Structures are given as structure tokens and as C-alpha cells.
Structure 1
Amino acid sequence: MKHAYLIMAANEFEELLVLLKALDYEDNAIFLHIDKKAALSSLQLKRFKQQVSKADFYLAPRRKVSWGGRDMLECEFSLFSFARSVGPFDYYHLLSGKDLPLLSHKRIDEFFEKNKGREFVEYKPIREQEVWQRVQVWHAFPNVSAYRSVKSAPLKLMIRAYRKLERTLAKALKLDFFKNTGLKLGFGSQWLSLDDFAVERILKKEKSIMKVFKHAIVADELFLQTFILNDEVLKKRLY
């Protein structure tokens, strides 16, 4: 089978070297995105390429990615689109730069061959109100509202206060921007494995998906789960 590994990395370069080496097999293609905010020297890039001799290696166009921001969703769509323009592949695996495969390529290949036509997406029960508030509240600055990505303590406090104000206003005015979509909300890890059928279907709905999550925060754990949950065809293909 042909596998595409889509890697979103920030600055974990030593771990990334190990990951690239582990994925270096024939019939694999590696699509690497390095956050534009990270310092990437020509020497470091050369080290990345030296880890890959059997698999096809592609460096995706770099963009700035904010933790939990809307630009993280845009980056994922960009990676899926880029990989599919090179492919198609049997499966597309979205990974972080800190992930590592626990099984050999042979066993991974056998598993996906055995379960061909299934989609591997995590779903968690939504027990916390905080998860709902990510989409219920209209966030004016979705790329900076994720305060966990901010290192400055004063700025972090300001963002937390601002987010609290947004939620307080929404509650007072009884606003729920997600409810108006009529969709069921899905929640889980952003790291997943999809086949070409699912990726093609998702890319065709990119504009409508981004419209729903345009002003959400930390939606990387919501947007694909929500789309699949509300797609009767893909929902039946979940593993």
C-alpha cells in the first residue's frame, strides 16, 4: 500500500530526525511542514533530507501556525491538498513532529490492508463545557485566543481575561453560534489516518467546514470529527 505521512512540526528537530528515519520505507511519501515561526537553517534542512533515502520526501510550503488557532486548520487542509496532488495514496496519516511509529512498516501496512476502506479517527465524549465554548462563542481573534501558546505571563492573563469576557457576553445575550449550524459536534485527537476517499470528500467541503469554524478556537480537535460525524457516508466507515 502507498502511505502518505503528513507531519506538522514546530521546533522538536531532534525528535523529528528520529521520526523521519523511522518512516523511511519504499511506498511511503513524507510531507513535512515546519512552522514558519521556527528557525530552520539550510544545514538543518539538509539533516532532514539525509534521513530519507527510500521514501519520497516533500517539504510543504511553510506558514505560521498558532497553537489552537484557525491557521492550524488551514495548515492541515493545505497538507492534505498538497499530498493528494502528488498522490493519490491509500492512506494519509496526520502526525506531529513528536510522534513515533510503534510497529514496523510491514505490520502497519498489513493492518491498513486488512482494514482498507475504514477511517481511523478518535472520538471522545464531550463532558466539559469548555469544549462546547470553543465553537459556541464567536471569537474575534481565533489565532491569538489560544492563550496556552503565549509565553508572556502578562499577555497570557490579558488573553484569558478577554476570552472570559467573550464567553460572558455570549452567555448574557444567549448566543450560540454553533447551534445555528444544526450540526452534531465531534471531539477527539487531531492526529488521524484517512484513506483517499475520505480526504477527497473532506477537501471538497473545505470552504463550508472553514465557515463553521472560522471564529472557533482549538478547533483542530473538532473540525474533522464534526464533519465526519455529520457525513452519513464517512460515519459508516469509522473503525
Structure 2
Amino acid sequence: MRHGILITAFKDLQQLEVISSCFDERFSLYVHIDKKTQVSDGVIKKLEALENLVFISQEYMVNWGGLNHLKAILHLCERAIEDESLTYFHLITGQDLPIKTADEFIAHFSSLGGKSYLENFTMPAACWNNGGWDRILLYNLYDSLNAKKHMHWIQKLLSIQKRLGFKRNYSKDLPPLYGGSTYWSLHRSAVKQVVDYTRETPALLKRMKYSFCSEEFYFQTILMNSDLKDSFDTDNKRYILWEEKHGSKPGILDLEDWTQIKQSDALFARKMDWNHSAGLIERIMEKHQNEDKAQE
């Protein structure tokens, strides 16, 4: 059994080398780096030299909340599905790390019988403001306006639409909406379902334009309206701290989180950066390196 690791990245590109080192020849890495990120030829060559990195691209300029993040993910899926030897695919970011070893991954997924990990829930969603409808029924201009610089204007435009009672149409010809976390671990059959649907029925992707975080709708909507709907565990097996820490929400993990991380049944932990997470990254790497030593 072989796995594809799909990674969207925009900062801390040295962590891609760390991610790569956690996996062996049974894993292939596919990377999309935000087109806004300035990357030197030297860094690209260093990444391309990684033995298990198969594909690296800067196809899309990705703004938080915008459609291009979904397009970047689909871009990686389309490329990775071409390798027929890959059975499972895992979507992560460049700020995540696997907290299970390569052998643990292989053993775990060999026992699943085709089951996938995909958080999913019906709409309206109790965990989202206004049930999540503002995400899809209002014009969200995150691709046009970078939220890091222009959130005030984005929110002002949303407020005007609400005051006017404006709502975009969601065609009855499109499948009922489902939501859930961006990050998943999917069997090949599920990824192929999404890739084929996107090629054959582009209307849903087109309707995702001007929505907010469309990657938190798209896979769930396609898959939960398919014949595969009963093959998903709603726990996506990610260790995420859903509170503010180090100025970020979800929180940036550090060494204080290690005990809970190692006791969890998660596959990946997110998110980390070098300023706050160096000790934790080192501890996680020790686990992977100990496996390598045990195999020598």
C-alpha cells in the first residue's frame, strides 16, 4: 500500500523537508506553494531533490477564505490520482506534521477496508455563524481582497448585503450542501469521485466562486451525495487546538501540547511554526527517527 501526501504551503518552507523526512518510499509528496510566496531557485531545487517529492507547483495565488485554495487542492488531487499505485491520500498544510510513523500509517490504513476520514455535517451547521449560509449565499470577496490587509472592506460589503436582504441563488440542480473540515484522509475511490465529478459536472465548482472557504463544502458535498456516503468516519484524525494560542486560532502548537498529542489517535498535528514550535517539532522528529533506528 502506498500513500499520497498532498500539501498546501505558503510559509516556513523548510518544514517541507521535515515532513518529507517523516515518510519513506511508500509515500509520495505533492506540494502546492502559494503563488504570492517568493521562493528562490535554490529553495525549489532543494525541495525537488527530496526523494519522495513527486510534484511541486505554484499554480494559484491563494488568499485565506478564497476559491483558489480549493483549486490548488484539486490541482494536487488531479496530479496525484494519476499514480495508480496510491491507495490513500492525505491533505495537510506545510505547517502540519505526521504524529504517527510510516509503519503505523501503513498498518492502520491496511486495516480500514477502504474507509476514509472526512469530517462532514449537513447544512445548516450549528458550528458556523448563521448556520453557514452567509458563506454561500453572500458575495465573499476573499479572492479579490486579501483578508490580511482588507478584512474591514470584506466585512463591510457583507454587512451591506445583509442589510439589503440580498441572497445569492443556489440552484436546485446542484447537490444538497454538506460542510466540514478542509483536511482529510481519503481512499482512492473518494478522491477519484471528486476529480471525476469536477471534470464532468463543473457547475458546482463554478458556484463556489465568491463563497467563503469553499474547501469546507466542496469535497463533503460531492462525497456525501455519492454512493460512497457510508464509507466515511467523521473524525478527520487531526490534532487541532481550537482556541487562540501564540496569536493564532486555531492555536499554534508547542512543546506543552506534546503529551496530549502523543496520547491522541490523530494522524497529523496542526499547526506549527518555527518561532513557537521548534521544541515540539524536535520531539515529533525523535519519534520518527527512533523508528528508523529500530529498522536498521
Q: TM-score, normalised by structure 2?
A: 0.69
User: What residue in structure 2 maps to residue 197 of structure 1?
Assistant: 189
Partner of 1:38: 37
Residue identity in the other structure for 2:27: N
- Taking the TM superposition and a 5 Å limit, the aligned residue runs for 1:145-164 are 149-152=146-149, 155-164=150-159
Q: CA deviation at 1:215?
A: 3.1
Per the alignment, residue 217 of structure 1 pairs with 212
Q: Contact (CA 8 Å) 1:142, 1:215: kept in 2 or not?
A: yes
The equivalent position to 1:185 in structure 2, one of 167, 174, 177, is 177
- Detail structure 1 runs of 4+ shifted over 4 Å in the superposition: none
Contact 2:136 2:212 in 1 (8 A): yes
1:28 counterpart letter in structure 2: F
1:65 CA displacement = 1.2
Letter in 1 for 2:152: L
2:186 and 2:148 mapped to 1: Cα distance?
Answer: 34
More strand by share: 2
Cα separation, 2, equivalents of 1:142 and 1:122: 24
Gaps of 5+ in 1: none
**Aligned partner (choices 228, 231, 234) of residue 228 of structure 2:** 234
Matches of 1:182 and 1:151 in 2, distance apart? 32
What is the rounded CA distance, in whole Å, between the counterparts of 1:91 and 1:114 in structure 2? 12
Match of 2:179, SS state, is coil
Matches within 5 A, 1:8-27: 8-23=8-23, 25-27=24-26
Q: Name the SS for the 1:205 alignment partner.
A: helix
2:140–2:212 contact (8 Å) kept in structure 1: no
Alpha-carbon deviation of 1:86?
A: 3.5
Q: Answer 1 or 2: higher relative contact order, Cα 8 Å, separation at least 6.
A: 1
State which drifts further: 68-77 or 213-222.
Answer: 213-222
Partners of 2:72 and 2:190 lie apart in 1 by 18
For the 8 Å contact 1:70–1:143, the answer to whether it is kept is yes
Distance 1:151 1:216, change over 3 A: closer
Amino acid at match of 2:144: V
Correspondences of 1:123-162 after superposition (within 5 Å):
123=120, 126-127=125-126, 128-129=129-130, 131-137=132-138, 139=139, 141-144=141-144, 149-152=146-149, 155-162=150-157
SS of alignment partner, residue 151 of structure 1? helix
User: What whole-Å deviation, never above 9, does each CA across 1:10-58 have from its counterpart, x for those lacking one?
Assistant: 01223333212213x01211111111100111221233245x33x2532
Specify whether residues 182 and 57 from structure 1 end up closer, same or farther in structure 2 by C-alpha distance, changes over 3 A only.
Answer: closer
Is the 1:136–1:177 contact (alpha carbons within 8 Å) kept by the matching residues of 2? yes
- RMSD of the TM alignment (CA)? 2.2
C-alpha distance in structure 2 between counterparts of 1:91 and 1:179, whole Å: 33
Question: Are 2:74 and 1:77 aligned?
Answer: yes
Q: Distance in 2 between matches of 1:124 and 1:16?
A: 31
Does the Cα contact within 8 Å between 1:135 and 1:177 map onto a contact in 2?
A: no
Quote the offset at 1:141 in angstroms: 3.5
Aligned residue identity for 1:184: P
TM-score (ref. length: structure 1): 0.85
Residues 121 and 193 in structure 1, CA contact (< 8 A), matched pair in contact too: yes
